[in-house]
Structure 1
């Protein structure tokens, strides 16, 4: 069995786990936290609430705190899956941000939702590799909000976000002025007085992208300026707030379409000519 376990103190000690197993089974147990999982390959099985559930690839697993269950690979082929264990406090906080008054309780143990599964996989991968607090905190809030809205047995009030022009401008200016810092979502909520879910929604509505995407855009524009001046890619990465050269390259290519090195070479050769 191949496994990896890690924690994120910045997300209220969120626990994360991924594994690939063949013919493996867990004894009956429960968790103090909410358990949210995704089957990547193989078929997972579990006995939960008096019934047996099978989860093929792409299935999302949702289990409530303190509810006993088993878990096992249901076929001969390897079972690959990812788990996210969110404590009750952080889930309740996101629920309050959504104006949910009830205690969040998942209705179904296994759900099929391709779009959400894609977001959950992307989130889990980002939580494993990304050093950007704003990005992984925002993605976490977004995915948990979708799960609570669609699959928790709660009443979710419907409301339209207001324009919040002042708050949006405050955030844009803050990100422009502090692009080289590892900014957190909490800093933006303290700045605006808005809760996390609402802030992300109003910013997206106004700007067309979440705050972390806007921050990356600001960083890439600054990186282009520095690269054109002849600064090395490694130096530029640190100067604009990226953790290293590969981190800069990943975002730069996603936005500009070429690598920072290629952009630097083109910019400096053009000036020479």
Structure 2
């Protein structure tokens, strides 16, 4: 992703992908793990799959950055290329490392030009190898209590199966013997975002998959569970900074 913002804010959201973002010019404020960090030209941000974060312009008048979004097949391919079993889990999200930023900017520009596959592959392994070696913790996300995790997995499955329906906190809570307040607390403990934010992300992920398969935007919106195309566009822009139409053109 290439982004060039003069005014924008990302609502709290998660990605199924492993995310790396490096700033070219300007900056922004990024919130994750309850902390606010400053995005600028010598700082790199990395987010584990499923890790909540948000961002806004702050005092900066512009923010130009390049982002990488690696879904699970790409994560496995990078790990295989580096000769490791799995990529590390990051216990921090922002790193002041000018050399690393330069490496990822070079990689992004090579991928954008798409003129030398060998050079692209070398730059990719060099950049991610440096990131994992310097800043990867090698651990895993601290596990939620087993009871919370088991209950969340049941809820997650139900929400995924019925995401196109008009789900409510009260209805979901009663189905699992929880008050609305307990349901919100469960999601915050296990995944760090509210049920509404999680459901919105499920719907956005579904819309993205449908748009990649060339479904019309209005059709993708309804199938994913949004009220209409306008609702999908609003949430899409808040979460990703681009419109569904821009995403569909890029995917094509």
1:154 aligns with 2:138: yes
**Which whole-Å CA distance do the structure 2 matches of 1:103 and 1:125 have between them?**
23
1:131 aligns with 2:115: yes
**Which whole-Å CA distance do the structure 2 matches of 1:103 and 1:76 have between them?**
33
Structure 2 counterparts to residues 1-273 of structure 1, below 5 A: 17-101=1-85, 104-154=88-138
**Which whole-Å CA distance do the structure 2 matches of 1:94 and 1:103 have between them?**
8
**Which whole-Å CA distance do the structure 2 matches of 1:103 and 1:43 have between them?**
28
Structure 1 residue 80: deviation in Å? 0.9
Write the deviation string for residues 71-124 of structure 1: whole angstroms up to 9, x where unpaired. 221224211111011123332443355454455212221111111111111111
Structure 2 gaps of 5+ residues are 140-252
Coordinate RMSD, CA, aligned:
1.9
Q: Judging changes above 3 Å, is the alpha-carbon distance between structure 1 residues 57 and 74 closer, same or farther for their aligned structure 2 residues?
A: farther
**3-state SS, counterpart of residue 109 of structure 2:** helix
Q: Work out whether residues 95 and 145 of structure 1, in 8 Å CA contact, stay in contact via their aligned partners in 2.
A: no
**Which whole-Å CA distance do the structure 1 matches of 2:9 and 2:100 have between them?**
26
**Which whole-Å CA distance do the structure 2 matches of 1:103 and 1:26 have between them?**
26
Q: Judging changes above 3 Å, is the alpha-carbon distance between structure 1 residues 110 and 129 closer, same or farther for their aligned structure 2 residues?
A: same
Structure 1 residue 43: deviation in Å? 1.9
**3-state SS, counterpart of residue 57 of structure 1:** coil
Q: Work out whether residues 38 and 59 of structure 1, in 8 Å CA contact, stay in contact via their aligned partners in 2.
A: yes
Q: Judging changes above 3 Å, is the alpha-carbon distance between structure 1 residues 26 and 56 closer, same or farther for their aligned structure 2 residues?
A: same
**Which whole-Å CA distance do the structure 2 matches of 1:130 and 1:93 have between them?**
19
**Which whole-Å CA distance do the structure 2 matches of 1:37 and 1:150 have between them?**
16
Q: Work out whether residues 12 and 54 of structure 2, in 8 Å CA contact, stay in contact via their aligned partners in 1.
A: yes
Q: Work out whether residues 100 and 154 of structure 1, in 8 Å CA contact, stay in contact via their aligned partners in 2.
A: no
Structure 1 residue 152: deviation in Å? 1.2
Q: Work out whether residues 41 and 101 of structure 2, in 8 Å CA contact, stay in contact via their aligned partners in 1.
A: no
**Which whole-Å CA distance do the structure 1 matches of 2:87 and 2:5 have between them?**
34
Work out which structure has the larger RCO, using CA pairs closer than 8 Å and 6 or more positions apart in sequence. 2
What is the TM-score with the length of structure 1 in the denominator? 0.47
Which structure has the larger Rg over C-alpha atoms? 1
**Which whole-Å CA distance do the structure 1 matches of 2:58 and 2:134 have between them?**
27
Q: Judging changes above 3 Å, is the alpha-carbon distance between structure 1 residues 103 and 39 closer, same or farther for their aligned structure 2 residues?
A: closer
